[in-house]
Structure 1
Amino acid sequence: MTKAKMPVEIRPLTAADRSAWQGLWTAYLEFYGTAVPQEVQDTTFARLMGRDAQDFHARLALVDGRPVGLVHYLFHRHCWRIENVCYLQDLFADPSVRGQGVGCALIEAVYAEADAAGAPNVYWLTQDFNTNARWLYDRVGRLTSFIKYERAPTS
């Protein structure tokens, strides 16, 4: 049974949101079975609040005034386009509100920001086992054939 959609407010992250962001960010990392040092968390939040905020952005999703989701995204140059593109780096909705429109509202907010910035493309990655999120992504995006590689650890 599909849960009913709820009214979701999307707004920019502010310095006063540090605690709420920290809780959502930690839960996001735990979902992927990882953690980052406190220094990385502090630096990430400072970047979202500081001069990097012109390219590095965050939005919170709120339901009845309670933060229940977050999205981080950035704009960058692309060798195949004149315009910048938008990379949706992190997306998280609290498990208690999944399936109720929070993730979709966050993605649509990023789409709107990309349109306003003149960025014709928004892209993101997810892990193959993230089936609930992929159900949403299949509705709001297009699956590509690209495979991700990264630098192998050096000894």
Structure 2
Amino acid sequence: MGDKDFFSWLGLFEGYSEFYGSELTDGKALQVWSWIIDKNHPLTGAVAIDDDGTYVGLAHFRAVPQTLSATMGLCLDDLFVTPDARGAGTGRAIMDFVKQHAKDKGLARIRLITAADNATAQILYDQVGTRTDWVTYEITV
């Protein structure tokens, strides 16, 4: 993605933030965008564009060390498809892109995370990956 994609990406990121009930401020959006376009920052992103040139999905992901295997993997932090594009294969196309990106970078595995009540994402993730026994916690500091 590049500067020309900012406003189209922003519309998708607003939809993603709204989906998860997270307030998106200009400051947060600009911070995330600056990470995505900074070639020295681990976060990167991709967008899905339909045949009409409309931006219909996004993914944000980053390479992460996997200490127990002494390999590098990829963490898919965010995946969003606009409501109008859901069910048309957009999510799977984004996953295929992310998988190819990981393969091209020599990354060993992709870690997916979603909300426990996001049944739609879990259907896709169950098709492309394996549900693990890991339980995730967060600590606010």
TM-score bracket for this pair, using the shorter chain length: over 0.9
Which ranges in structure 2 are unaligned for 5 or more consecutive residues?
A: none
Question: Aligned partners of 2:23 and 2:140: how far apart in 1?
Answer: 20
Conserved 8 A contact 2:112-2:125: no
- Which of 97, 102, 110 is matched with 1:114 structurally? 102
Tell me how many residue pairs correspond in the alignment: 140
Displacement of 1:17 after TM fit?
A: 0.6
- Amino acid of the structure 1 residue aligned with 2:133: S
Higher relative contact order (CA 8 A, sep 6+): 1
2:49 to 35, 59, 62: 62
Do 1:86 and 1:114's aligned partners in 2 also have CA atoms closer than 8 Å? yes
RMSD: 1.3
CA contact (8 A) 2:45 2:58 kept: yes
Q: Deviations over 1:54-83 (max 9, x none)?
A: x32111101011110000000011211232
In the alignment, structure 1 segments of 5+ residues that lack a partner are 1-12
Structure 1 residue runs of 4 or more that deviate by more than 2 Å after TM superposition:
none
Which structure has the bigger radius of gyration? Answer: 1
Structure 1 130/52 Cα, relative in aligned 2: closer, same or farther at 3 Å?
same
Q: 1:36 Cα deviation (Å)?
A: 3.2
Q: Residues of 2 paired with 1:126 and 1:23: CA distance?
A: 20
* Partner Cα separation in structure 2 for residue 134 and residue 108 of structure 1: 16
The percent of aligned pairs where both chains have the same amino acid is: 29
CA 1:121–1:31: 2 relative to 1, 3 Å? same
Q: TM-score, normalised by structure 1?
A: 0.85
Q: Is 1:83–1:118's contact at 8 Å kept on the other side of the alignment?
A: no
